[in-house]
Structures are given as structure tokens and as C-alpha cells.
A = this chain, B = another copy of it.
Amino acid sequence: MPFVRIDWFPGRTVEQKRESVEVLTREICRIGKCEPDSVGIIFTDVDKEDWGCAGKLFADG
């Protein structure tokens, strides 16, 4: 533990995911007092036509 899930729009590069895993693991462990070995992170790409906010799809701006 901890276990982290991040939903975001498609388009992040592998390098951005790599840095996210490094930095988020380090910061969560520093703040939450836990061991990096145990931190799992899953990224999920969500298309703008599958994500809505305030009653509107992001695809509709």
C-alpha cells in the first residue's frame, strides 16, 4: 500500500507517466510515511466523450 489510480485524458507520453510514477511515489511516501516498494499506481486514459462534468461531456467543450 498505498494504491493509486489516476484517470486522465489520453495524450500523456510514456515519459510523463514515468515521471508521474517516480514523483508521486516519492511524495506519497514522504507525506504518508510509507515504503516506496509498496506503492502501486494505475493510469487510465478516458476519452473526452466518456467524461462529463457539470452536465456536459468534455467532448462538447
Contacts and interface: CB of A to CB of B under 8 A. Distances in A.
Contact of A56 (B8, B21, B49): B21
Interface of A: 1-9, 12, 14, 16-28, 31-34, 36-46, 49-60
A60 B15 CA distance: 11
Given A2-B8, A3-B42, A56 B24 contact: no
B39 A54 contact: yes
Contact of A34 (B1, B8, B59): B8
| Nearest 7 CB-CB pairings of A with B | A21-B52, A2-B8, A25-B55, A41-B52, A43-B50, A3-B7, A5-B5
A47 to B, nearest CB: 9
